[in-house]
């Protein structure tokens, strides 16, 4: 076994370089939920195309200016980390950019998380503590499960639970397009990572 000094190196989660190149060519604002969803679905598609992760995209947006604060894509395979889901990556990046663990902190504008798929059980927990005040979802969890992904145990009333915490939930924005990306990933031989299967 390696000595502790070599085993426990600092870990930095980085977005793929193609994201910056792609976003430079995009608009500065995304005025509608559909426009924001189209962006995160495109990120999911590009994540497949570039082989940098699974078929999921997300973004944290300021609602007052409708600007993208931070993008996120699924980096589970490339980072070798089961927690690197698109929503978690977007939330982490936004918190680092804004210098706060709470995206709803006093003095910050209202933030919205847009995700190409309904959150799994892990991401649901992350969203609860992130400080975002709105979440917009594309595909349903059942769409992800239909192609083999494990969404984990979630309360049946998870949307109500979030709303009771002051987080508004909107479902099924561009669901057909978001679901299509999931199917495309599997049809192209993408690895369906599923810890439940060992």
Closest CA to 104 of 146, 63, 73: 63
3-state secondary structure of 60: strand
Model pLDDT, residue 198: 47
Which are the catalytic amino acids?
Answer: 87
- Of 39, 59, 79, 54, nearest to 181 by C-alpha is 54
Query: What angle is formed at CA 111 by the lines to CA 109 and CA 117, rounded to 5 degrees?
Result: 175
Rounded distance between C-alpha atoms, residue 165 and residue 174, angstroms? 25
pLDDT of residue 93: 97
- pTM beyond 0.75: the answer is yes
Tell which residue, 45, 79, 56, 32, has the closest CA to residue 151.
56
Reading the chain (198 residues) residue by residue, the pLDDT tens digits are 556 666 677 778 899 999 999 999 999 999 999 999 999 999 999 999 999 999 999 999 999 999 999 999 999 999 989 999 999 999 999 999 999 999 999 999 999 999 999 999 999 999 999 999 999 999 999 999 999 999 999 999 999 999 999 999 999 999 999 999 999 999 999 999 876 654
At residue 59's C-alpha, the angle toward residues 150 and 165, to 5°, is: 75
Q: What angle do CA 55, 46, 82 make, to 5 degrees?
A: 40
* Residue 64: C-alpha distances to residues 33, 68, 71, 73, 110 (Å): 13, 11, 17, 24, 7
């Amino acid at each position: 076994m390696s000595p502790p000094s070599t085993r426990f190196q600092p870990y930095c989660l980085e977005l793929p370089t193609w994201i910056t190149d792609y976003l430079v060519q995009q608009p500065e604002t995304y005025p509608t939920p559909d426009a924001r969803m189209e962006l995160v679905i495109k990120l999911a598609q590009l994540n497949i195309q570039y082989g940098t992760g699974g078929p999921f995209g997300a973004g944290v947006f300021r609602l007052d200016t409708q600007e993208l604060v931070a993008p996120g894509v699924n980096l589970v395979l490339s980072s070798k980390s089961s927690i690197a889901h698109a929503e978690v990556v977007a939330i982490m990046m936004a918190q680092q950019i804004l210098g706060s663990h709470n995206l709803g902190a006093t003095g910050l504008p209202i933030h919205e998380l847009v995700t190409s798929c309904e959150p799994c059980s892990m991401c649901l927990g992350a969203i609860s503590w992130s400080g975002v005040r709105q979440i917009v979802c594309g595909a349903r969890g059942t769409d992800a499960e239909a192609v083999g992904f494990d969404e984990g145990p979630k309360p049946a009333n998870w949307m109500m639970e979030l709303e009771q915490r002051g987080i508004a939930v909107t479902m099924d924005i561009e669901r057909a397009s978001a679901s299509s990306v999931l199917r495309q990933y599997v049809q192209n031989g993408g690895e369906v990572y599923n810890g439940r299967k060992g």
